[in-house]
Chains A and B, each alone.
Chain A
């Protein structure tokens, strides 16, 4: 299958000499939902900044739809790969939420009514309509994050990268974000999350990539990764709670690959019923 983003033996050091990526190789395919996880300073953000051309590899190559990213400008890449910063303040410039969200679109030469339609629909989706005329800096942290997300989503990039999207979001906001990401995924978007929110990552994403000290130490389907206790240890992560419960109980009827709460409830209910009958 054709890759959307492909990193080949990418290494990177910051000018101060700190090595941040060591021989990172990975392929992202259309329609995937991937979480990149790892300890603070593992290289997660440095890696995704390579996907959008904000950083260029010291060694190795990044390809976007089979084209070497080195020959593309940041603006060209931005139409294909959208990046939502961890700190929304880094990407909010305009005086109103509406202007902020329209900003990127004004460079795409869309007809005016198409532009307005897209902006309105994204503001509705992200529950931002009532803030249309507000200054982005007058909003709460969680709301600003949604404005930043809206301003990227509205461009309809093929790949959407979100850096720590759940940070500072409460349970209700997180639920909405999970639903939105699930919908984007269904509609064929490729979604990449950088996060150390373990429960959220394993709920929303299919593929989990774990980094530690600049290297990828595990990469695979979530039901495989979730059982690898030593990987979580190495990357200062915690295993999700339900698999951890399964590990402690150690029963074949309740395997460690169980992530979903409904599934866990069904298994445990029938196990308890069985035990009471005996």
Chain B
């Protein structure tokens, strides 16, 4: 069964004259890592809100078509039934941190689910271990760097053991090293725990190699949908607001001049291996 199934979704925010999503159809398989990119204002965040059920329940507006998440029709399901199973990570971790200590922060979700005390403790321990911040448990989230704060935000979602993790530009506020760590963490959760991941990103340098599929959304429509190596190779991407990493741009250009790559390299290491063989 598809984890997320979007059919002919057209959505217009209240007081807006134009739809923000136009006839979008899209499936996300259970256990898939889907990367969503495209220009700002193109509809990426709106799509995330639809999957969470925040649209239409909190935002109102006019929604046509259907969104099913884990088999549930979001229009008929209250968000409170969806949120424990679908977790959302925002751009700025400070937007979702509420508690005085990291332990309390991570316990917040399971407490609200009304779980027994020892089960809460088990889940907090597990979540802190998964993101690698057990040593920080007594600290306040506000004394941490934004990279660490983002880890706390992820842990506080993981403690609800969601089946789907949605991340809206989770690395945009943090330094490159911490960004790599966060993306690898998401990759590990996807591979080891089989969590379905839907992530929007502007920086594809780290994410492209882990994604099963890339969807480009622009002007409210899905303009591209395919495996990263196929989508990022396309000339038609130019002008779509997709930040094709330098190494992929270079590889595409070399392929254009007749250099033969078996596969489009997605990382510097892959490109170096292929070019190294050619230059031998």
| Chain A residues within CB distance 8 Å of chain B | 38-41, 140-143, 167-174, 196, 198-199, 236-238, 240-242, 244-245, 248-249, 251, 261, 264-265, 268-269, 271-272, 275
Q: How large is the interface on B (under 10, 10 to 19, 20 to 34, 35 or more residues)?
A: 35 or more
Known contacts A40-B178, A168-B169, A272-B259: A245-B278 contact under CB 8 Å: no
Instruction: Assess the A142–B249 pair: CB atoms within 8 A.
Output: no
Known contacts A168-B172, A242-B247, A261-B253: A269-B276 contact under CB 8 Å: no
Instruction: Assess the B278–A242 pair: CB atoms within 8 A.
Output: no
Query: What is the minimal beta-carbon distance from B277 to any residue of chain A, in angstroms?
Result: 10
20 contacts between A and B (CB under 8 A): A39-B177, A40-B174, A140-B41, A167-B172, A167-B173, A168-B202, A170-B42, A170-B243, A173-B39, A196-B175, A198-B176, A237-B176, A238-B180, A241-B246, A245-B247, A248-B272, A249-B279, A261-B253, A265-B254, A269-B257
A265 CB contact (under 8 Å) in B172, B205, B250: B250
Instruction: Assess the B279–A141 pair: CB atoms within 8 A.
Output: no
**Chain B residue contacts of A142, Cβ below 8 A:** 40-41
| Chain B residues within CB distance 8 Å of chain A | 38-42, 91, 145-147, 169, 172-178, 180, 202, 205, 239-247, 249-250, 253-254, 257, 259, 268-269, 271-272, 275-276, 278-280
**Once bound together, how far apart are the Cα atoms of A275 and B271, in whole Å?**
17
**Chain B residue contacts of A265, Cβ below 8 A:** 250, 253-254, 257
Q: Is the interface of A mostly helix, strand, loop or mixed?
A: helix
**Chain B residue contacts of A41, Cβ below 8 A:** 145
Instruction: Assess the B271–A245 pair: CB atoms within 8 A.
Output: yes
**Chain B residue contacts of A269, Cβ below 8 A:** 254, 257, 259
Number of inter-chain CB pairs below 8 Å: 114
B250 CB contact (under 8 Å) in A196, A238, A242: A242
Best-surrounded residue of B38, B245, B249 (most CB of chain A within 10 A)? B249
Query: What is the minimal beta-carbon distance from A133 to any residue of chain B, in angstroms?
Result: 15
**Once bound together, how far apart are the Cα atoms of A195 and B82, in whole Å?**
37
Instruction: Assess the A172–B239 pair: CB atoms within 8 A.
Output: yes
Instruction: Assess the B278–A241 pair: CB atoms within 8 A.
Output: no
Instruction: Assess the B177–A237 pair: CB atoms within 8 A.
Output: yes
